């Protein structure tokens, strides 16, 4: 029982750290989105799946462990299957997200998260076609509504470039084994999920 509880705690904590850099999701994560978020889906300017592809990861320095300490993080992820529900960004099909961030973190929680990122948008799937624009992101200091502490970090604003001024939000799920967080520590995380832009 204790081992199962530790695994669940490490999973949530590591996913929280993933938000230092990204907003990755998948079908499993999407099903956890609050009803309020899914209810306004038709109003979203853009919604994409996000996945750390082969060779991609979010790296932590130093590794996240049970002892709280300051860390930095950086990485990249792919945005695919993009849909513009209100039709305003119908030319976008995919994107590439690169991020960097910092905060004070342990396996149990992360505080004082600061982060920024850039998305390069493409007209074709899987980053094919022409570049149709770029967006610069800033994480929100207030967080957002959600079912876990992780979700409170998955929000912010596009501060420049394409869709400037629009808010973004999402949920994230780690896909690699994070149980070693309470032992040797976690030096990186991979994940999947969904990013939506209002």
| Mean pLDDT to the nearest integer, 34-49 | 62
- Among 29-33, 47-51, 158-162, the range of highest mean pLDDT: 158-162
Maximum CA pair distance of the chain? 52
Of residues 152, 162, 197, the one with CA closest to residue 15: 152
- Domain region containing 6: 2-197
62, HSE (Cβ side, Cα atoms, 13 Å): 11
pLDDT value of position 163: 97
Number of domains making up the chain: 1
Name the residue with higher pLDDT: 187 or 28.
187
DSSP letter assigned to residue 31: T
pLDDT band at 55 (very low <50, low <70, confident <90, very high): confident
| Global confidence as pTM | 0.75
pLDDT value of position 58: 84
pLDDT tens for 96-119 read 988 887 888 888 776 777 888 899
Indicate the SS3 state at residue 56.
Answer: coil
Beta strands in 28-130 (DSSP E): 46-51, 58-64, 69-83, 94-105, 110-122
Cα(77)–Cα(56) distance, rounded to whole angstroms? Answer: 7
Q: Is the pLDDT score of 11 beyond 50?
A: no
Using CB atoms within 10 A of its CB, is residue 85 exposed (0-12), middle (13-18) or buried (19+)? Answer: middle
Percent above pLDDT 90 for the chain: 31
Name the residue with higher pLDDT: 31 or 137.
137
């Amino acid at each position: 029982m204790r081992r199962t509880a530790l695994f669940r705690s490490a999973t949530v904590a590591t996913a929280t750290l993933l938000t230092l850099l990204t907003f990755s999701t998948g079908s499993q994560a999407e099903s956890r989105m609050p009803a309020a978020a899914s209810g306004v889906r038709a109003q979203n300017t853009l919604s994409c799946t996000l996945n750390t592809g082969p060779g991609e990861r979010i790296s932590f320095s130093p590794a996240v462990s049970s002892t709280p300490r300051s860390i930095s993080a950086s990485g990249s992820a792919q945005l695919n299957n993009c849909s513009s529900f209100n039709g305003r960004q119908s030319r976008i099909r995919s994107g590439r997200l690169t991020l960097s961030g910092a905060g004070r973190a342990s396996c149990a929680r992360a505080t004082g998260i600061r982060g920024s990122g850039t998305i390069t948008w493409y007209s074709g799937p899987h980053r094919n076609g022409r570049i149709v624009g770029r967006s610069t992101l800033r994480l929100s200091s207030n967080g957002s509504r959600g079912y876990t502490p992780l979700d409170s970090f998955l929000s912010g604003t596009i501060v420049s470039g394409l869709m400037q001024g629009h808010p973004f939000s999402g949920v994230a799920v780690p896909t690699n084994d994070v149980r070693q967080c309470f032992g040797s520590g976690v030096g990186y995380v991979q994940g999947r999920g969904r990013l939506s832009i209002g």
